[in-house]
């Protein structure tokens, strides 16, 4: 029989480490478990509870009164404190309590409240009792004396749903202190919070966990809309504890270029490419000694790139595992595949109501329908119609969710009638097409047909966004024709309510499920407005990035970079459309110039260089315009920072030629200094001096103190590279005099003076100068300058014979270089390289490696603190 229950309190328990006990002492464990079961059953029943089931090495029980549940748990824990009652084995039992309304059938309970109780228990440690906020609220302050509740705060449970406030039950006879809870936060991960519950798939979840434990690459296979992505997230949440170095989701659906696959993985893992090296090299190095799980989600359109990268990562790291979702296998050695079926459907033609509640497709429909309309529930009147809907939709989760959302405005009978009409249209279609693909297309057609003209227009226009969009972007791109600017918010809200658009958890951005995005893209392609909409998308992002360029430096830098992180896929989409857009050559170069700083600050110099070159190589981008001069300058500076000085020189020479043809004296002045540095990099010091001498004259004529300081500094660098400290030092002091009011100029001029002091064996002067630079870094958070402080301090330590500090600071600087992507220029490399070589020669290899490794382990703040302490110490 089935009935709705009032609020009940659910208890789950589990013996910590039971598998190990069974493996080590099976006979004693058999007796101990029998005694445990008797103690648990007695504790539950003696306090008015009902044992729902014994769960192998735990109990699932239900209570009408939460205080009874607490008293039962206390009695059980007291009895299990000593090992004598359990055959001499110490059984550490963890317990979870949660209260809520649940569905009862016969002597079993189902629903969100039951699942939540089990999740709370799974975060506890042996001997620990956890309560949800619902139980704590019901108990209130009027509980008997003897125990108290300790608020542990809000934690994310492994159902990936909203966080739960959790309390620990404390009693003088119970252990009080435990390690951090086994929540999602306990292990590094980027698993997103889910707005809906995970329904069904218990068999596939268990099967996938088993396959992943035995193999290192598991690919979930199936057509779009089957829930591969959601299942992969749940698998990841379940196995989180097995991967101490993290579980990392890589969403590939928005990516159209196979070359961006390694970048997307690197972005998810927080790995920065080494200047001048493919990002895949950095990934291989990163995973080599780490135990982590990478989820490659939606591989099918990037299958070759995913296969090659997966193979490289698995070969590089023996403890790396990969979980992929795709419509076809990756087909590499060691791959295990799991074909994901549609959700289970009723076996019988006329199943009972009780049997229907065990069917995954029905459970999903009921759960999502109840979310849309809280009054909805499965009963004898609608059961057959709900079953028909799920059958007609072939058990495809996405189709079921879209249909269930319609209960807000349609009865299930009307939903079924509309589905019948639509599928009748498709029965005479292409017999060679997969029926599931036909069904999914039919469902989305049906959902599209229900939209108003304005909703349809916005729906198809939103398909131009890659990786999501903001409301402002939707208003800029989605207006026109049937859609006024003031209508977009309302229309977008309706699309969200109709489950065609997914809001992000923070409510500031929106996205399509990829299948829906592809369908909406087809609608746009079949309209007469595709070019206009894509042009609005391009113009919006050009304006956004150009307006945001000042925020990529200064106090708003963090926010500016974070905004670009979110919009990176839209940047690439806009960049690609420039191949076809009217005026795309000019616009594309402006687009790349607007985000130049982003490539430097995110350590993505290789990607920035490639995309900038793509913009420059368009046939429509060849005119000698200011935009081309800027883009060539950008390409030259990026190439120089990557150590590719010859390429940098080519780009900067052409940029200078364009600037001279335009008569743009200010641009010429700006270009001559980086061009001089590029010539330095290739060893052409004569040309470098010529460019820098001209740059100095023009900068002084234009009254640009920053440019004057930069040119003087470059001239001093040449002198120092040649070992002429007598010429270099007064030039550096002139830099300080000209640009001393600008903190960043003052900082790098002082750094150079510190290197001169080291070259003159004036270590005390170098130490004092470096402390001045550290003060500037602290005031303005100049991390690139801080990286240079570490490098110069490493050189100072080596010059003083403090070899271990030299190696340690060098390691710290190298870590920061990996993050920033900034490459030492030839002069600074010439200063540091021989000093570090001396340190390597002076120390035995193991001591040197240990010291450098210790430095690489330091984050920026810790490294700067270590350098400051060393410089402040009398011995320094």
Reported as half-sphere exposure (CB side, CA atoms, 13 A), residue 731 has a value of 21
Q: pLDDT at position 20, please?
A: 77
- Residue 330 confidence (pLDDT) above 60: yes
> Which residue would you say has higher pLDDT here, 102 or 427?
102
Q: pLDDT at position 348, please?
A: 67
Structure-block tokens of residue 303: 């299958």
- Residue 424 confidence (pLDDT) above 50: no
d(CA 697, CA 665): 11
Q: DSSP label at 186?
A: G
Q: pLDDT at position 618, please?
A: 96
Q: pLDDT at position 809, please?
A: 95
How confident is the model over 419-445, as a mean pLDDT? 44
How confident is the model over 135-140, as a mean pLDDT? 84
Could you tell me if 728 and 720 are in contact, meaning their C-beta atoms sit under 8 angstroms apart? Answer: yes
Structure-block tokens of residue 197: 């519950």
C-alpha closest to that of 106 among 256, 241, 3, 27: 3
- Residue 426 confidence (pLDDT) above 50: no
Confidence of residue 160 (pLDDT cuts 50, 70, 90): low
Confidence of residue 406 (pLDDT cuts 50, 70, 90): confident
Q: pLDDT at position 152, please?
A: 82
- Residue 425 confidence (pLDDT) above 50: no
Range of weakest confidence among 278-282, 511-515, 668-672: 511-515
d(CA 611, CA 588): 10
Q: pLDDT at position 420, please?
A: 59
Angle at CA 43, nearest 5°, toward 37 and 49? 105
Confidence of residue 2 (pLDDT cuts 50, 70, 90): very low
d(CA 38, CA 36): 5
- Residue 154 confidence (pLDDT) above 70: yes
> Which residue would you say has higher pLDDT here, 490 or 22?
490
How confident is the model over 575-587, as a mean pLDDT? 95
Q: pLDDT at position 433, please?
A: 31
Structure-block tokens of residue 438: 């036909």
Range of weakest confidence among 161-170, 195-204, 429-438, 799-808: 429-438
In sequence order, what are the residues at sequence separation of 6 or more whose Cβ sits closer than 8 angstroms to the Cβ of residue 579?
Answer: 618
C-alpha closest to that of 114 among 183, 12, 239: 12
Beta-carbon count within 10 A of 519 CB: 24
Q: Which residue has the tokens 């995309």?
A: 611
Q: pLDDT at position 253, please?
A: 83
d(CA 378, CA 567): 42
Convert the pLDDT of each residue in 832-842 to its tens digit: 999 999 999 99
C-alpha closest to that of 303 among 282, 324, 280, 278: 324
d(CA 734, CA 729): 9
Q: Which residue has the tokens 């001029």?
A: 749
Distances (CA, A) of 673 to 488, 612, 667, 678, 711: 49, 21, 11, 9, 6
d(CA 809, CA 857): 11
Beta-carbon count within 10 A of 190 CB: 16
Angle at CA 110, nearest 5°, toward 105 and 116? 155
Q: pLDDT at position 442, please?
A: 65
d(CA 612, CA 106): 67
Could you tell me if 500 and 519 are in contact, meaning their C-beta atoms sit under 8 angstroms apart? Answer: no
- Residue 5 confidence (pLDDT) above 70: no
- Residue 437 confidence (pLDDT) above 50: no
Highest mean pLDDT among 12-21, 140-149, 485-494: 485-494
d(CA 475, CA 477): 6
Convert the pLDDT of each residue in 259-277 to its tens digit: 899 988 988 888 888 777 8
Q: DSSP label at 480?
A: B
**Neighbour order of strands in the sheet with 108-110:** 2-4, 103-105, 108-110
Range of weakest confidence among 415-429, 533-547, 666-680: 415-429
Q: pLDDT at position 439, please?
A: 47
> Which residue would you say has higher pLDDT here, 855 or 447?
855
Structure-block tokens of residue 126: 């042996």
Distances (CA, A) of 642 to 213, 436, 572, 745: 41, 49, 22, 22
Q: Roughly what angle, to the nearest 10 degrees, separates helices 665-681 and 705-721?
A: 20
> Which residue would you say has higher pLDDT here, 799 or 17?
799
d(CA 98, CA 10): 5
Reported as half-sphere exposure (CB side, CA atoms, 13 A), residue 274 has a value of 11
Q: What is the pTM of this model?
A: 0.66
- Residue 771 confidence (pLDDT) above 70: yes
- Residue 493 confidence (pLDDT) above 80: yes
Q: pLDDT at position 736, please?
A: 85
d(CA 526, CA 520): 10
- Residue 484 confidence (pLDDT) above 60: yes
In sequence order, what are the residues at sequence separation of 6 or more whose Cβ sits closer than 8 angstroms to the Cβ of residue 307?
Answer: 330, 331, 332
Angle at CA 248, nearest 5°, toward 246 and 254? 170
Q: pLDDT at position 555, please?
A: 65
Convert the pLDDT of each residue in 214-235 to its tens digit: 999 999 987 667 788 889 988 8
What three-state secondary structure class fits 323? strand
> Which residue would you say has higher pLDDT here, 159 or 265?
265
How confident is the model over 511-525, as a mean pLDDT? 84
How confident is the model over 739-767, as a mean pLDDT? 85
- Residue 486 confidence (pLDDT) above 60: yes
d(CA 794, CA 789): 8
Please provide residue 276's backbone torsions phi and psi, each rounded to the nearest 5 degrees: 80, 5
Q: pLDDT at position 542, please?
A: 96
Structure-block tokens of residue 227: 């829930």
For the chain, state the CA radius of gyration.
33
What three-state secondary structure class fits 781? coil
Our separate counts of H helices and E strands in the chain read 38, 18
Beta-carbon count within 10 A of 83 CB: 12
Q: What is the mean pLDDT of the chain?
A: 84
Q: pLDDT at position 580, please?
A: 93
- CA torsion sign for 650, 655, 661, 667 is negative
Q: Roughly what angle, to the nearest 10 degrees, separates helices 397-404 and 360-372?
A: 30
Range of weakest confidence among 55-64, 127-136, 547-556, 672-681: 547-556
In 3-state terms the chain splits into helix, strand, coil percentages (rounded to 5) of 60, 10, 30
Convert the pLDDT of each residue in 67-124 to its tens digit: 888 889 888 888 887 767 666 677 888 888 898 877 666 566 777 788 888 888 888 8
Distances (CA, A) of 221 to 224, 225, 299, 518, 584: 10, 11, 10, 19, 39
> Which residue would you say has higher pLDDT here, 21 or 390?
390
**Neighbour order of strands in the sheet with 292-297:** 247-251, 292-297, 320-326, 217-221, 335-339
Q: pLDDT at position 648, please?
A: 94
Convert the pLDDT of each residue in 627-664 to its tens digit: 999 999 999 989 988 888 999 999 999 999 999 999 99
Percentage of the chain surpassing pLDDT 70? 91
Beta-carbon count within 10 A of 113 CB: 22
Structure-block tokens of residue 480: 């026109």
- Strands 217-221 and 320-326 come out as parallel
Q: pLDDT at position 621, please?
A: 95
d(CA 302, CA 260): 10
Please provide residue 87's backbone torsions phi and psi, each rounded to the nearest 5 degrees: 60, 30
Convert the pLDDT of each residue in 193-204 to its tens digit: 777 778 888 889
Could you tell me if 220 and 322 are in contact, meaning their C-beta atoms sit under 8 angstroms apart? Answer: no
Structure-block tokens of residue 105: 């059938």
- Residue 184 confidence (pLDDT) above 70: no
């Amino acid at each position: 029989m089935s009935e709705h229950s009032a609020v009940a309190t659910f208890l789950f328990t589990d013996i910590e480490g039971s598998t190990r006990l069974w493996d080590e002492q099976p006979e004693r464990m058999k007796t101990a478990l029998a005694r445990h079961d008797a103690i648990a059953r007695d504790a539950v029943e003696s306090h008015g509870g009902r044992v729902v089931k014994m769960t192998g090495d735990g109990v699932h029980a239900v209570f009408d009164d939460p205080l009874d549940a607490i008293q039962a748990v206390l009695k059980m824990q007291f009895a299990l404190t000593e090992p004598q009652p359990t055959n001499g084995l110490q059984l550490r039992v963890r317990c979870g309590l949660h209260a809520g309304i649940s569905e009862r059938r016969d002597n079993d309970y189902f629903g969100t409240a039951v699942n939540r109780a089990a999740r709370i228990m799974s975060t506890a440690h042996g001997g620990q009792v956890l309560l949800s906020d619902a139980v704590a609220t019901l108990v209130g302050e009027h509980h008997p004396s003897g125990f108290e509740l300790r608020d542990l705060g809000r934690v994310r449970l492994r159902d990936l749903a909203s966080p739960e406030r959790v309390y620990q039950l404390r009693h003088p006879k119970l252990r009080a202190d435990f390690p951090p809870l086994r929540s999602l936060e306990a292990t590094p991960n980027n698993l997103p919070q889910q707005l809906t519950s995970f329904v069904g798939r218990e068999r596939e979840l268990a099967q996938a966990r088993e396959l992943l434990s035995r193999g290192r690459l598991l690919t979930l296979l199936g057509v779009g809309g089957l829930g591969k992505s959601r299942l992969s997230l749940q698998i990841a949440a379940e196995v989180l504890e097995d991967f101490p170095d993290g579980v990392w989701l890589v969403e590939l659906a928005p990516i159209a270029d196979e070359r961006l696959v390694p970048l997307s993985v690197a972005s998810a893992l927080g790995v920065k490419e080494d200047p001048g090296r493919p990002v895949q090299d950095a990934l291989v190095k990163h995973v080599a000694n780490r135990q982590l799980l990478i989820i490659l989600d939606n591989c099918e359109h990037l299958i070759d790139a995913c296969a090659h990268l997966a193979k490289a990562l698995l070969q590089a790291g023996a403890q790396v595992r990969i979980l992929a979702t795709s419509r076809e296998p990756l087909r590499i050695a060691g791959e295990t595949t799991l074909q994901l079926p549609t959700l289970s459907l009723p076996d019988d033609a006329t199943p009972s109501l009780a049997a229907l509640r065990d069917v995954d497709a029905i459970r999903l429909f009921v759960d999502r329908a109840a979310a849309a309309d809280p009054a909805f529930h499965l009963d004898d009147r609608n059961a057959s119609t709900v079953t028909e809907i799920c059958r007609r939709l072939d058990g495809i989760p996405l189709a079921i969710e879209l249909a269930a959302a319609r209960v807000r405005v349609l009865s299930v009978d009307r939903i079924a009638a509309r589905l019948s009409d639509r599928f009748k249209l498709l029965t005479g279609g292409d017999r060679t097409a997969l029926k599931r693909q036909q069904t999914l297309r039919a469902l989305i057609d049906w959902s599209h047909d229900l939209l108003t003209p304005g909703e349809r227009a916005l729906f198809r226009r939103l398909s131009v966004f890659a990786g999501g969009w903001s409301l402002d972007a939707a208003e800029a791109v989605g207006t026109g024709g049937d859609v006024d600017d003031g209508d977009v918010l309302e229309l977008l809200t309706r699309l969200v309510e109709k489950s065609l658009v997914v809001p992000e958890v923070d409510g500031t951005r929106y996205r399509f499920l990829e299948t829906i995005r592809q369908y909406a893209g087809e609608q746009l392609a079949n309209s007469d407005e595709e070019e206009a909409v894509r042009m609005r998308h391009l113009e919006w992002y050009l304006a956004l990035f150009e307006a945001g360029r000042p925020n990529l430096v200064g106090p708003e830098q963090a926010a500016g970079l974070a905004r670009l992180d979110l919009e990176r896929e839209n940047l690439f989409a806009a960049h690609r459309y420039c191949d076809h857009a009217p005026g795309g050559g000019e616009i594309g170069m402006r687009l790349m110039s607007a985000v130049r700083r982003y490539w430097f600050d995110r350590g993505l110099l290789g990607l920035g260089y490639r995309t900038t070159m793509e913009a420059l190589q368009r046939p429509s981008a060849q005119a000698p315009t200011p935009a081309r001069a800027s883009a060539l300058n950008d390409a030259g500076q990026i190439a120089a920072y990557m150590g590719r000085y010859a390429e940098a020189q080519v780009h900067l020479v052409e940029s200078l030629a364009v600037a001279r043809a335009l008569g743009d004296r200010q641009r010429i002045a700006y270009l001559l200094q980086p061009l001089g540095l590029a010539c330095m990099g290739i060893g052409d010091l004569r040309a470098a001096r010529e460019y820098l001498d001209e740059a100095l004259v023009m900068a002084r004529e234009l009254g640009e103190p920053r440019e004057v300081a930069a040119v003087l500094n470059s001239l001093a660098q040449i002198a120092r590279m040649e070992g002429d400290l007598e010429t270099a030092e007064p030039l550096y002091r002139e830099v300080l005099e000209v640009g001393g009011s600008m903190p960043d100029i003052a900082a790098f001029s002082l750094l150079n003076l510190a290197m001169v002091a080291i070259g003159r064996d004036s270590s005390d002067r170098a130490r004092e100068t470096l402390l001045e630079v550290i003060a500037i870094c602290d005031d303005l958070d100049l991390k690139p300058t801080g990286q240079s402080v570490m490098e110069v301090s490493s050189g100072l330590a080596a010059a003083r014979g403090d070899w271990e500090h030299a190696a340690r600071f060098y390691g710290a600087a190298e870590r920061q270089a990996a993050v920033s992507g900034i490459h030492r220029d030839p002069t600074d490399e010439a200063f540091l390289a021989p000093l570090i070589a001396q340190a390597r020669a002076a120390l035995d290899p193991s001591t040197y490696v240990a010291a450098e490794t210790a430095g690489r382990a330091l984050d920026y703040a810790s490294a700067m603190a270590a350098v400051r302490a060393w410089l402040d110490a009398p011995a320094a």
